[in-house]
Amino acid sequence: MAFQPSKSKRHLEPEQGSLNMNSMMDMMTIILLFLLKSFSTEGALVTPSETLRLPESMQGEKPKKELSVSIAKQVILVNDVPVIDVATIDKNQMLIMPLADRLAEYARQEKQLEIDVGKEFTHQVNIQGDDKTAFEVLFKVMFTCSKSDFYKMRLLTIKKG
């Protein structure tokens, strides 16, 4: 059985009240400041993924956007284009041929740009390696890079602390 509606409450004036926005504004201001602090104009240089987890390091400068060679768990990529599977790298050869070819192509393009429009060829390359990458593979990639005119190498890491 439903209750009978209260007669005295029927003639009550709707309450006049305004929302107090002050605390919300405070919160917004704090969030805004925090986000401004972590603002970066560079954009995302690296997208961490399951197959490419960068090692942690205490030091390191701010990286610049350069040609990137990524050593993921299964595959090696140059500027996000897969080049060779890690498993198919020749054990007895220091130079990784498909990678060397691809890098040589990039080097040729860069040199052509230097001639055409005067954009300096920096010889720089960012190496992003998965933290479980074997030293053998890393060393071969670095060797291939240095052979292919990209001898200023930077290892990208995640800064902790």
Partner 1 sequence: MAYKPSLRQKSQPLDMELDIRPVMNLMVVLIPLLIASAEWVKIGSIEINVPPSKDVGASGPNENQNQIIENELKLGLKIAITSDGFTIGNSQTLLSNEEGAGPTVPLKTDASYDYDVLKQKLIEIKKAITGKGFKDSDRAVLTASPGIEYQVIISVMDNLQTYTDDAGEQQLLFPQVNFGSIIQ
Query: Where on the chain is the footprint of partner 1 (CB under 8 A)?
Result: 18, 21, 24-25, 28-29, 31-32, 35-36, 38-43, 45-46, 48, 54-64, 71, 94, 123, 126, 129-136, 138-139, 142-143, 146-147, 151-159
- Find the shortest distance in angstroms from Cβ 145 to partner 1: 8
- Find the shortest distance in angstroms from Cβ 16 to partner 1: 13
What tokens does 50 get?
């399951």
Helix (H, G, I), strand (E, B) or coil at 13: coil
Helix (H, G, I), strand (E, B) or coil at 30: helix
List phi, psi (to 5°) of 143.
Answer: -65, -45
Is the Cβ–Cβ distance between 95 and 148 less than 8 Å?
no
Q: Which residue lies nearer to partner 1 by CB, 45 or 98? A: 45
Q: Which residue lies nearer to partner 1 by CB, 11 or 159? A: 159
- Find the shortest distance in angstroms from Cβ 68 to partner 1: 11
Q: Give the whole-angstrom CA distance, residue 109 versus residue 121.
A: 10
**In sequence order, what are the residues at sequence separation of 6 or more whose Cβ sits closer than 8 angstroms to the Cβ of residue 136?**
none
- Find the shortest distance in angstroms from Cβ 151 to partner 1: 5
Q: Give the whole-angstrom CA distance, residue 60 versus residue 81.
A: 26
Q: Which residue lies nearer to partner 1 by CB, 32 or 97? A: 32
Q: Which residue lies nearer to partner 1 by CB, 34 or 82? A: 34
Helix (H, G, I), strand (E, B) or coil at 132: coil
Q: Which residue lies nearer to partner 1 by CB, 28 or 97? A: 28
- Find the shortest distance in angstroms from Cβ 9 to partner 1: 30
